[in-house]
């Protein structure tokens, strides 16, 4: 068991979740690829500790989050994560999964009844599964191939590390892809209209958020995105994950502390979406 909980919220078992609960879960899903992981598995643990430096409210203290049923369920590896998330969603509760790489998203939604997901990502993550080795660079291909009931939308594509065959794959599958640049209107619409949202932190401009595994030039400013979440009236999303943070390359944990503030805004968004 970790020493801290997120923001000091109660640490409970998934068995104690109700329909009013917002559950924060840490991901231990980290895969091997050509891109070094830099001890990425520590992300949730580091973010928990950083969260203790912040109060439990969003911008201008419009929502005091300690007044709501928000809990920390702990950290889980791939298969256990699938089980925990599906159990929580069956109770009609909502989930935020934090940490890990983008394989987190596949395991997070694999055993659920979710029907649509907006994936904010600089990459298409649709590489071929080489020798059945699953990693963060092929997660969207696996979702599309194995979870056909889930409609996938990709927002922010611009990755120089993306292979042409990945683009050909998503085009063949008629996946909606919003290339960079992306308007604020599209971001707000996609955040609000889907059952699930996945935020790969390389979606952001590396000048504003750099502690990621595969940074790409251009991208949305991190602070602007936080403001957009703050502006959003509500979301249909019951599952949101935030992945690919790497604390080991985050000197002074500047990115991590900014990420904590995004998590607070997402919690407030889920609170006002009830």
**Which pLDDT belongs to residue 58?**
95
3-state secondary structure the chain: CCCCCHHHCCECCHHHCCCCCEEEEEECCCCCCCCCCCCHHHHHHHHHHHHCCCCCECHHHCCEHHHCCEEEEEEECHHHHHHHHHHHHHCCCEEEEECCCCHHHHHHHCCCCCCEEEEECCCCCCCCCHHHCCCHHHHHHHHHHHCCCCEEEEEEECCCCCCHHHHHHHHHCCCEEEECCCCHHHHHHHHHHCCEEEEEHHHECCCCCCCECCCCCCCECHHHHHHHHHHCCCCCCCEEEEECECHHHCHHHHHHHHHHHHHHHHHHHHHCCC
Within-domain flag for 11: yes
pLDDT at 202 over 70: yes
pLDDT at 212 over 60: yes
What's the whole-number average pLDDT of the chain?
A: 96
Within-domain flag for 30: yes
pTM of the entire structure? 0.97
Within-domain flag for 1: no
Q: Taking residues 13-21, what's their average pLDDT? A: 96
Give the domain extent around 29.
6-271
Within-domain flag for 150: yes
**Which pLDDT belongs to residue 160?**
94
pLDDT at 1 over 60: no
The total number of structural domains that make up the chain: 1
Within-domain flag for 106: yes
pLDDT at 250 over 60: yes
Compute and round to an integer the Cα radius of gyration of the chain.
17
**Which pLDDT belongs to residue 2?**
66
Q: Taking residues 110-124, what's their average pLDDT? A: 98
**Tell me, what CATH number does 256's domain have?**
3.40.800.10
How many degrees, rounded to 5, is the angle at CA 209 between CA 206 and CA 214?
55
User: Higher-confidence residue: 199 or 33?
Assistant: 199
pLDDT at 210 over 90: yes
Tens digit of each residue's pLDDT (9 = 90 or more) over 133-148: 898 989 999 999 999 9
**Which pLDDT belongs to residue 132?**
73
Within-domain flag for 123: yes
**Which pLDDT belongs to residue 133?**
84
pLDDT band for position 201 (50/70/90)?
A: very high
Q: Which of 172, 96, 100, 186 is nearest to 141 (CA)?
A: 172
Q: Taking residues 67-79, what's their average pLDDT? A: 97
Q: Taking residues 89-98, what's their average pLDDT? A: 98
């Amino acid at each position: 068991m970790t020493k801290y909980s997120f923001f000091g919220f109660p640490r409970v078992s998934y068995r104690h979740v109700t329909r009013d609960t917002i559950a924060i879960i840490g991901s231990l899903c980290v895969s091997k690829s050509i891109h070094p992981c830099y001890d990425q598995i520590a992300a949730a643990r580091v973010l928990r500790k950083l969260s203790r430096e912040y109060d439990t409210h969003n911008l201008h203290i419009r929502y005091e989050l300690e007044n709501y049923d928000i809990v920390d369920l702990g950290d889980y590896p791939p298969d256990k994560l699938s089980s925990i998330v599906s159990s929580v969603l069956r109770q009609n509760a909502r989930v935020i999964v934090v940490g890990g790489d983008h394989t987190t998203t596949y395991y997070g939604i694999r055993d659920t009844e979710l029907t649509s997901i907006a994936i904010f990502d600089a990459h298409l993550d649709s590489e071929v599964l080489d020798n059945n080795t699953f990693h963060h660079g092929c997660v969207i291909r696996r979702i599309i191939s194995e979870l056909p009931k889930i409609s996938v939308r990709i927002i922010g594509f611009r990755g120089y590390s993306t292979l042409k065959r990945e683009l050909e794959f998503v085009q063949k599958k008629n996946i909606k892809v919003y290339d960079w640049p992306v308007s604020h209107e599209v971001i707000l619409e996609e955040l609000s209209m889907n059952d699930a949202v996945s935020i790969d932190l390389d979606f952001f401009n590396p000048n504003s958020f750099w502690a990621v595994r595969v940074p790409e030039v251009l991208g949305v400013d991190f602070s602007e995105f936080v403001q957009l979440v703050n502006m959003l009236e509500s979301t249909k999303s019951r599952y949101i994950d935030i992945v690919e943070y790497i604390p080991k390359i985050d000197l002074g944990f500047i990115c991590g502390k900014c990420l904590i503030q995004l998590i607070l805004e997402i919690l407030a968004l889920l609170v006002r979406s009830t």
